[in-house]
Structures are given as structure tokens and as C-alpha cells.
Structure 1
Amino acid sequence: MKPIPLKRDDWRMAAVVARREIKDSFRDWRIMTPIILLTVFFPALMNFAAGRMMAFVSNYGAQIIATQLIPFLLLVVGFFPMSFSLIIALETFVGEKERKSLEPLLATPLTDYQLYLGKMIAVLVPPLLAAYLGMAVYLVGLYVNLGWTPSFQLLGQTTLLTTVQGVIMVAAAVVISSQTTSVRAANLLASFIIVPMALLIQGEAAALFWGNHVGLWWLILALSITAVVLIRMGLHLFKREELMGRDLDEVRLGWILSEFWAVMSGRRENNGRYPNPFRWYRQTLSLIPQLGRPAATLTLALLGALGMGVALAFVYRLPPDMLASFTSERIAANLDQLQIVARGLPLAIFMQNVRVLVLMALLGTFTFGILGILVFMLPWVIVGFAAGQIFLAGENPFLFLVATILPHAIFELPAILLAASAALRWHLTVIAPPPDRTLSEAFVATSAEFARVFIGLTLPLLLVAAFVEAYITPQVLLAVYGN
């Protein structure tokens, strides 16, 4: 992924665009009237609700419930003005394009980066100021009416959450506005922004209610990374030539299937002719060097998952009777029972691994690869947890890992790493497509390359690993832990 060369002059010119757009927004009564109402009326309503809630619960001696819910109302007060930013953001490009007011701005000598940043800052500033003002009005009302003041940590967390959520909504909405051809389509796609953010507010409410401030700091970090990814994605995808040259969106299913098959079958690299199997495998193996960075990322995730599993084992120690099942004698006894069902294990193991990898690939397509990485990490967390429990049971965890994991991991780990790396490369194409391809072309091509790696390399290795895990790994375990 290439770095974005932003210079000081880019920020200066973006500020020029932002000032122009902000002045236009403040002059538009259709924008300012709802913002002012949400800033003044809604905090007053929340103050009234907080007062009634405190009066109600005080009759039952449950003031702590209202005290824990008051910070949630502070989040809601900041969220409502920020949600209004979606309307402004969706109008930034596609709305002006429909009104024929975008062409003069696109004709200026501004770069795509400067124009995009200026538009995004202009959309973000009015709702963000309204959110801060609304939160201030709400806090002043609480102090006057109830004498309640937030702690410095709580105030900082709610302010940061409001800011980061606003940046995420604006960045995502501006990306949608720059990639759609009508305001109607942009408004329909906006539901993919507002619904997750509304669900996120509920999760934040639960964290505030239980006082989980450490979890909120981690959430702020995750949301900040998401905001940076969305901003970077918009900078990579925005091209004024495509914005003016695209008048109609259509799903070209035939083109998608033909492009996918051309890349997966190897016809694209073989001048339109089907390659023989040896040439197809050489083409597929040539994709492996392109998986270097995704593989390095996943290797770090694997090591982190193992460490997390070990840490969880020490935090959540199993009871002594359950720890006894990790001793050498119990492991050998369990292996004797395993031999009874060994014949049906290879197919079951193979299908389970295939299902997990397909699920990982599908989940990552709409989460920028995040859910795919989490699915990849989950088995290694379990392995680390088991190794930690083995240590707590008085056994050698390294001997356990070598005996239970290493025999089939020689084949299974490269297979999983290849598939996961190809899937992550496919998922990240949405954030930064190659400069010589459109987003749709790059997305279809990398999905086909994932299919090549999965079918040509991963499936054969998984099949071998399944037989090794079913027949050889138990024998190694018997040799290590048997009498």
C-alpha cells in the first residue's frame, strides 16, 4: 500500500476549500436550523429526562442506576448532531453534481487530495461544533439542576468518542458520495453507516453503565484506526475524472463472471488461451511473493493470539479436576478412545478447515479484513490457552505443542497462511486499489487470485494435513504420552 504524499501546501489549499464550503453551510438555513434545534432543544430534553429519572429512582434507593445512565445521555446528545453530518456529507459530491454546481470547483488547479480533504473538513466542522455545544449545554444544565459533574476521564472519553464517531461517519459518507451517481443511491447506502453506529452507541452505553473505562479506551483506539483507514480509502479512491465521467451505476454480472474466470483460469496471462496445468501452477506460485506483507501481518497476529491465549489461561485457571485431564495419563487414555473414530476424521477435519477459511474470506470482504483476521486468530488463542493450562497442570507445554500441533502443522499452517494472506490482500484492495485499475477491476482480480491460491495450493495441503492429523499425530502423541 503506497503512502499518501500530503504536504503542507496540500493542507493549506484544503483549508481554502473548507472555508468556502463552511461559509456556504452557515448561510444555508436548511442546514443551520436543524443543527441549532438539535444543539439547544435536545440537550434540554435530556436534562429533563435525567431529572425525572433521578427523582424516580430515588424513591426506591437506586440512585446509582440513574448516575450510571447520565453519561449515556451525554453520548446521545453528541451523537444526534453528528448524525446530521451524514446528510451534508452525502451532498458533498453527488449532490453538487446533480445540481451542476461541482464543475467549476473541479476545474480549479487543486489536486484530488486537496479537494477531497477540503470537502471532508467542511462537512465535519459544523456538526462537530454543534455536538460540542450540545454537550456543553447538557453538562451545564446537569450542574445547575442536579449538581452532577463528570470526571475528567469520563468527559475525555465521551468527547473523543463523539469526535471519532463523527469522523468515521463523515469519511464513510464522503466516500459513498464520491462513488455514487445519484443522491438517492447515496441515501440508501447511508444505512450501512448509521445502523452500525447506532448499534455501537448501545455497546458504549453498556460499557458506561458498568464503568468499563479501560474497554472504552480500547474502543477509542479501534475507532481511530477505522477513521484513518476510511480517510485513506477516500483519498485513494477519489478521482475527479471518474466522478464527472460516471453517469449510471449498473451491476454488470456478466462482466464480473468473465473477468473472474479469465484471471482464475489463467487465460488473462496466457493471451486468452487456457494454460496447461503446469503453466497454471507456475502462474499461481508466482502470486506468493505478492503475499509477503499480508503474511507478515498474519504471522504477527498468530503470535499475538498465542500470547493472548497463554495470558487468558493464567487469568482463567481451570478447576483442579479439569486440570487433571491435561496430565500425561489422561491424554493417553483419551487417545485410545480417539482411535475408534479415526476412520471418519480426515474428511471431517478437511471440511471443517475449508468452512473456516471460506467464512474468514467472506467476513473480511465487508470489514476491511478485520473479521477475517479475528477468525484466523481464534484457533491460535485456543492453542495458547490449552498450552497455558498444560503448564498449570505441571506438564511441559512445549512438548505438548510439538506432539499435538507440529506433525500436521507442517502442512496445515502454510495452507492456512497462504489462504488467509490471499484473502487479506483481496480485502485490502478496497482501501487502496492499484493506480492502473479501477476499484471494481482490482476487486474482481484479487478475488480470482484468492480462488487460485485456495484451490491450487490450500486445498491440497489441507487434504494432506487432515490425513496426517487423523493418523500420524495420534501416534506421535501415543509415543510421547503413552507407557
Structure 2
Amino acid sequence: MIDRKRAWAVVRKDWIEVSRNKQVVAPLVVIPLLFAAVIPAAVILGGNSGILASTITGLQSFLDNLPSRVVPSGYTAEQTVVYAVIVYFMAPFFLIIPVMIATITASSSFVGEKERRTLEGLLYTPLSNRELVLAKVLGSLIPSVLLTWAAFVVYTLIVNVLGSPVMGGVFFPTWTWAVIVVVLVPSVGFLATCLIVAVSGRSTTMQGAQGSALLLVFPIIALVVSQAAGLMLFDVTIALIAAVVLVAIDIAAFRFIVARFDRERIITRL
């Protein structure tokens, strides 16, 4: 049984520590804004410009391999580019946002405690292993999900304000994006955070934890970026299947990490 008050106290403590670190806070703002504002604005304003396709890595390949069925009939060349990029090309990048944010925040979960010399006291608290690991995961997962959702709101506003004159009206979001944002974002973020927290417990420095974390989450990034390369397209069916699989993996990963969590080993390495 998890004591929510004890776990939540650790979560709040971690948020306070993160908010005091400007080197951590800055990327948390810049990364979502890049995907939510800068790229979509460039896509809509650039239209079907060849410069745009050559600037964004993988965009030309994506457009060349785009099945005709995924774009509504009757669109002009410019409308086709805008719709394909906004609705399909950008989708996997919103799964990368929680992963990147988790890499920044979760990598300091245990190793940050070591550097601040507060880990020993934390490990001797009455919190169970499950409560402690869950608190560390939620401390990074909640900000990563909330920031991604905020980025999605900004993305939706920019896309519809700038894109409506080009597309002839509001065209975003779609049902696929609803599944991605509501279900896949938390699922991907939870898995990435669990893996990074596990690495953090075994690392001796924050830089080492972040380096190892990037290697661990690379398969997740490679999977979602495969759409940008034209290897697959997210639709409602694929998004729902991915959500079910990820939830099952999330549960298994969390249980495995809790089972492998060894306070004595961590204390001896302080």
C-alpha cells in the first residue's frame, strides 16, 4: 500500500530543487516552444517552399513517401504540404518532448540527491521502495506531461490562427492527435522516466546519468521519429495499439525497477 502523503512530499521537494536550477528550467521552456511555435509557424508561412523541405531534416523524404489517402482530396499543393506536416510529420515530435524533459529532470532524481548530500537521509526515511521510486518518477513525469500538454495547446492555437487562411478553415486537431496527447504522451513519458530514474540510482554524477539516459531512451526516440522518415504513419488504430502496448510495458518496467531497487547498495556507493 502506497502512502500518498509521504510520496507527494518527495515530489514537492524535487520540484523545489528543479525550480532553483536555472540551467534545468531554461530547456524546459525552450524545447516545448520550439516544437509548438517555431516549427509549425515556419511550415505554414513557408508553405510548399523548397527551402522549407531542405531545411527540416527528413521532411522531403516524408513528403515523397506520403500516401495520397491520408490527405483530403481537393487540396492544393501548398495545402497538402501544410496538412501533411502539421497533422502527420509533427506528431512524433510531441512524443519526444516528454522524453527530452524527463531526461533533464529525472536524470538528477537520485544522483542529484547524491551531489546535494541529501540522499542518505532520504534513503533512511520510512518510505517504502515502491513509494520512493514512484515519487521520483512522478516528480519528473508530471512536469513533462503538463509541459507537453501546454505545448499542444500553443501548437493548436498557432496552427489554426496561421493555417486557417491557407486551409480555408480550422483543420486541427484530429482524433489521432487526441489519442497521442491524452494517452501516448503520459505512457511514453512514464516509460522514459522509469528508465532514467533507474539509471540515476546507479550513476555517480548528473552528467553521467544524462549520458546514460540518452542511450536508454534512444529506442523510444528512434521509434517515434520513424514516422518523420516516412516509414510509418500514426493513425487512430496505430496510436491505440501503441497505447495498449506501452501501458503494459510501463507496468512491467515499474515493477521491475522497484524489485531491483537496493537501498543498501546505493548507500555503500555514497
Distance 1:44 1:144 in 2: 12
Pick one of 238, 247, 265 that aligns with 1:215: 238
Q: Are 2:82 and 1:66 equivalent residues in the alignment?
A: yes
Q: Give the structure 1 partner of residue 192 of structure 2.
A: 169
Query: Is residue 173–residue 190 contact of structure 1 (8 Å, CA) maintained in 2?
Result: yes
Q: Are 2:66 and 1:49 equivalent residues in the alignment?
A: no
User: What does the per-residue CA deviation read over 1:298-341, in whole Å, with 9 as the maximum and x for residues that have no partner?
Assistant: xxxxxxxxxxxxxxxxxxxxxxxxxxxxxxxxxxxxxxxxxxxx
Pick one of 84, 87, 98 that aligns with 2:115: 98
Q: Give the structure 1 partner of residue 11 of structure 2.
A: 18
Pick one of 247, 251, 257 that aligns with 1:234: 257
Shift of 1:65: 4.1
Shift of 1:12: 3.2
Pick one of 92, 98, 107 that aligns with 2:124: 107
Distance 1:73 1:233, change over 3 A: same
Shift of 1:63: 3.0
Q: Give the structure 2 partner of residue 183 of structure 1.
A: 206
Distance 2:91 2:200 in 1: 30
User: What does the per-residue CA deviation read over 1:127-186, in whole Å, with 9 as the maximum and x for residues that have no partner?
Assistant: 221111111101110111112311234322244222211111111001111133443542
Distance 1:202 1:38, change over 3 A: closer
Query: Is residue 107–residue 209 contact of structure 2 (8 Å, CA) maintained in 1?
Result: yes
Distance 1:126 1:33 in 2: 14
Query: Is residue 160–residue 172 contact of structure 2 (8 Å, CA) maintained in 1?
Result: yes
Task: Please state whether the residue corresponding to 1:146 is helix, strand or coil.
Answer: helix
Distance 2:251 2:214 in 1: 21
Pick one of 134, 137, 162 that aligns with 1:120: 137
Distance 1:65 1:42 in 2: 17
Pick one of 32, 35, 57 that aligns with 2:25: 32
Across the aligned residues of Structure 1 and Structure 2, the Cα RMSD in angstroms comes to 2.8
State, as a whole percentage, how many aligned pairs show the same letter.
Answer: 24
Distance 1:159 1:54, change over 3 A: farther
User: What does the per-residue CA deviation read over 1:9-53, in whole Å, with 9 as the maximum and x for residues that have no partner?
Assistant: 433321221122223323332222221222335422122222135
Shift of 1:75: 3.6
Q: Are 2:216 and 1:193 equivalent residues in the alignment?
A: yes
Task: Please state whether the residue corresponding to 1:170 is helix, strand or coil.
Answer: helix
Task: Please state whether the residue corresponding to 2:118 is helix, strand or coil.
Answer: coil
Q: 1:124-135 to 2 correspondence within 5 Å?
A: 124-135=141-152
Shift of 1:55: 4.6
Which has a greater percent of helix?
A: 1
Distance 1:42 1:78 in 2: 11
Unaligned residue ranges in structure 2 (runs of 5+): 51-73, 165-170
Query: Is residue 74–residue 158 contact of structure 1 (8 Å, CA) maintained in 2?
Result: no
Distance 1:26 1:47 in 2: 29
Distance 1:74 1:153, change over 3 A: closer
Query: Is residue 18–residue 118 contact of structure 1 (8 Å, CA) maintained in 2?
Result: yes
TM-score normalized with structure 2 length: 0.77
Distance 1:25 1:233 in 2: 27
Distance 2:238 2:176 in 1: 13
Q: 1:302-317 to 2 correspondence within 5 Å?
A: none
Query: Is residue 10–residue 113 contact of structure 1 (8 Å, CA) maintained in 2?
Result: no
Equivalent residue letter for 1:128: V
TM-score normalized with structure 1 length: 0.45
Shift of 1:231: 1.1
Q: 1:357-376 to 2 correspondence within 5 Å?
A: none
Q: Matched residue pairs, number? A: 240
Structure showing greater relative contact order (alpha-carbon pairs closer than 8 Å, 6 or more residues apart): 2
Select the structure of larger CA radius of gyration: 1
Distance 1:177 1:229, change over 3 A: same
